[in-house]
Structure 1
């Protein structure tokens, strides 16, 4: 085996061993749930250093095109993993997005567990105890962060408490395994053991965590990484890691200001085209009151999405040579999940459900504008996430690290492609109606303002009030959604939201570079195949692939 294959195999083995989502998807038994401890971070860092040492033995110049892509992914992952011990301190374990995986473990691993014998019963009870360990480690970590000057912002505290309380309340439903394959004795051991762990370990640890959050923890009146010791350096790392190419927070902030202003001008042009002579705020009130932009029922939401898809479908082969084999569909979310989601999500096809689905939010329709529906469905389905994620799932030649891990780990590619795909609607004829064009610009500006607000909060020390004022002026989001977003940027996932617009911009810059270099020989279908055919990659690798294609070193078949 080559050093590159050994490095990829080591990385994949580490992911399967430490991340239950991938263990579960691989059909292997989950032996342990993560606790979120510093020791786990140290193990991640050790694996990262080991992989980087393997890569040092590889000469990139001698690699095939496909191996160069694998090398680039391993460089990115190993770089992030090598920083795991340092970055452990930068994240509050009880923040909503940071602790989301705990609910995933409870629902996916514990609730669906179907033990077949005594060994499975013991494994299940050990996994149940891991839930209690997570709560204990979270409390210990918060205390350690406080001693380092990393106090929880007051503004985020209520949300953190609500998140922990939600996990506590859900724990009882997680501990309901299917005992039908067990004999009477093992069934009794399972039921008794689960009840004892719930009452004696899980609930007491969660109560202790809630008590800590309500009592002696260190807090701060500010938000954002800039306030903390080493916070600026942490944020600079997060920006580069999420972008997957070299860019500074200062450059991101300036880019955001310019793009928000440009999109504002484009929206003004559409208002003038529609014959409206008032300002944006007045136009916003008109849109909010117009029944055309509010669905009366969930079925109307679906009908709007399908109408836009019907415009794309007849012309999509003019932009793409290869289409996913899997069909796609629009389907409402489980109503029980809708309160916690702004819009919805794309669900890739799998063996059980071989259809890519956009699961949309059908609640709160009286306040949920549909003016950006065209841009949203292009982002989520055609030619957005479905064209990327379904194709990547269908490519069995990819190493599982690239086929499964890369799309989740590389948000600038995955979400950047979704944004780029939505912007294709202008040239594909989807936004011929001024209302849809206005909604598409509005959608883009919502994403672009993140470049300003995320950096404002985490680098320049903006207050929540200043961030909320800026975001309110650049979006049509409700005050509640604005607050949720800015807390996400500043206290939960700093830097993560930048990938959407940065990825969009990088893909367009690369396309324009290829168009200039190739002139009449440029075919947009070739460009799209070059970007999509290899699957998710760091954008530095995408750029290198485009440059080799321009130079003639890479030929598409």
Structure 2
């Protein structure tokens, strides 16, 4: 008997819970094992993906649950090549280490010692896993170098900084206060303290220090002078796959590059027109100097950044009911990032509501304020909270009817949907009248052009042989980012997460394309709230599936 779509979804979700601690924790399950990031793990995932893909071909109820089937096809195709894509990412790049830095402390923190003997053994076991993960990172870097995938020389300082931060963090994760270990007997306290002391001294820190010595020695010897996937054996085809994966529809790097150039030109023209309208007769560089000198666009303290975000949130909140028929139940707020994460992250991230924090939070970067302009604050907070990520992710979390692979797993897997929706949502501020102030409107164009230039720079670095210097010069001419920020961004595109940044603008463009098609076909019958529910209601899906759902919506409205 052929498996059902539900049974295949269960199989995928079981694999996720077993191999990805982040999702196990969100599901309220203890983390019994930290993955080591090995090729063996990637090969197991590839086998699972191929098995699910073969089973989908035999499933006869896919039409009854088309959205879940579409998501399963996407996951299976991606997992099926996990043993190949394992080679394409450097394990100590800042964003690659973020997963460990985010989930490991949660895994240790979730241990309550309510079951004293078992929890002591689990804590010590996870400490061992942590050391194996670090040793696995060094082993992978060595294997990549032997395969011709040497660490990019320009990225090495950032890699070292990320590992130095990891070294300090591991010691915090493995420390215990007296209140926490109160349920333990003196004998178990002694066993835990002795075991952790040995783990830190003999295993964890030596593994981290060995990795640092590798980065400061052999990695420099095999480092590549260039950046981007295109410089490596098989890198061109790897990047083509990543472009399609992150877009979630069929598109080539060449097409993306051309779209990006057109978008950047259009937005540059809009910015020039707005400067003229407000009476400024200089060029963009001159206007940038004016903005840089204006204290209104540079916060003095991290608390000032939060206050600016709150002001824009207060403006959008009364308007939401006119644009959306369903609102999230969870509240929303802003909160600064943990300091150790700020150096490696360009901006911040949205954190979904959960038992410990019932509000959806935008965790913002409060460092480097003297070089971090706030002119795009309105667009950024509409993207990150309402009606952007919070309206998508909190609602998806609250929809208990969705299978977990759709409710919990899909949003992080489908960047073109998740980030594309947030970009689209931020652009609604124009129709809502939230960019009436020319400063906010200019900041909106600045933000949009930032995501548009990513289409040019990401493809330039990974598919067209751009040097880091050429990419940084292009970014300097098409963004208001500071030189350190530009350096961080270009390294992100070329050495950390190639292709990932494309989803923001590609998803934004696809949502607007679908909306305009629907509005054109339905005419006066088009209801924007109904359209938003069509794309938001099912949660994150490949954009091919969103297109099919929109076409069905138009057909039903036309027939009705």
**TM-score, normalised relative to structure 1:** 0.96
8 Å Cα contact 2:372-2:482 kept in structure 1: no
Of 466, 478, 484 in structure 2, the residue corresponding to residue 474 of structure 1 is 478
Change (3 A) 1:272 1:492: same
Of 386, 389, 398 in structure 1, the residue corresponding to residue 390 of structure 2 is 386
What is the CA-CA distance between 1:112 and the residue it aligns to? Answer: 4.5
- CA offsets per residue over residues 155-191 of structure 1, 9 Å max, x none? 0111111211221222211112432221111111111
CA distance in 1, matches of 2:244, 2:259: 15
Change (3 A) 1:320 1:235: same
The equivalent residue for 1:247 is 251
What is the CA-CA distance between 1:320 and the residue it aligns to? Answer: 1.1
8 Å Cα contact 2:378-2:444 kept in structure 1: yes
The equivalent residue for 1:63 is 63
Of 200, 210, 230 in structure 2, the residue corresponding to residue 198 of structure 1 is 200
Change (3 A) 1:371 1:21: same
The equivalent residue for 1:86 is 84
The equivalent residue for 2:456 is 452
What is the CA-CA distance between 1:555 and the residue it aligns to? Answer: 9.6
CA distance in 2, matches of 1:46, 1:181: 43
8 Å Cα contact 1:111-1:175 kept in structure 2: no
CA distance in 1, matches of 2:204, 2:348: 31
Of 316, 326, 329 in structure 2, the residue corresponding to residue 312 of structure 1 is 316
Change (3 A) 1:505 1:375: same
Any gaps of 5 or more consecutive residues in structure 1?
none
The equivalent residue for 2:51 is 50
CA distance in 1, matches of 2:347, 2:226: 29
What is the CA-CA distance between 1:351 and the residue it aligns to? Answer: 2.7
Change (3 A) 1:16 1:329: same
8 Å Cα contact 1:549-1:555 kept in structure 2: no
What is the CA-CA distance between 1:364 and the residue it aligns to? Answer: 3.4
The equivalent residue for 2:524 is 520
Which deviates more from structure 2 when the two are superposed, residues 178-187 or residues 263-272?
A: 178-187
8 Å Cα contact 2:274-2:438 kept in structure 1: yes
What is the CA-CA distance between 1:123 and the residue it aligns to? Answer: 2.0
The equivalent residue for 1:137 is 136
Report SS of the residue matched to 1:172.
helix
What is the CA-CA distance between 1:335 and the residue it aligns to? Answer: 4.9
**TM-score, normalised relative to structure 2:** 0.95
The equivalent residue for 1:23 is 24
The alignment covers a number of residue pairs equal to 553
The equivalent residue for 1:183 is 185
- CA offsets per residue over residues 98-125 of structure 1, 9 Å max, x none? 1222222331112453333222222221
Change (3 A) 1:191 1:554: farther
Residue 468 of structure 2 corresponds to residue 464 of structure 1: yes
Alignment of 1:151-170 (within 5 A): 151-170=150-169
What is the CA-CA distance between 1:546 and the residue it aligns to? Answer: 0.3
CA distance in 1, matches of 2:365, 2:218: 38
What is the CA-CA distance between 1:29 and the residue it aligns to? Answer: 2.1
- Measured on the aligned residues, the alpha-carbon RMSD in Å equals 1.8
Change (3 A) 1:57 1:425: same
The equivalent residue for 1:274 is 278
8 Å Cα contact 2:131-2:204 kept in structure 1: yes
Residue 206 of structure 2 corresponds to residue 215 of structure 1: no
Any gaps of 5 or more consecutive residues in structure 2?
none
Alignment of 1:332-351 (within 5 A): 332-335=336-339, 337-351=341-355
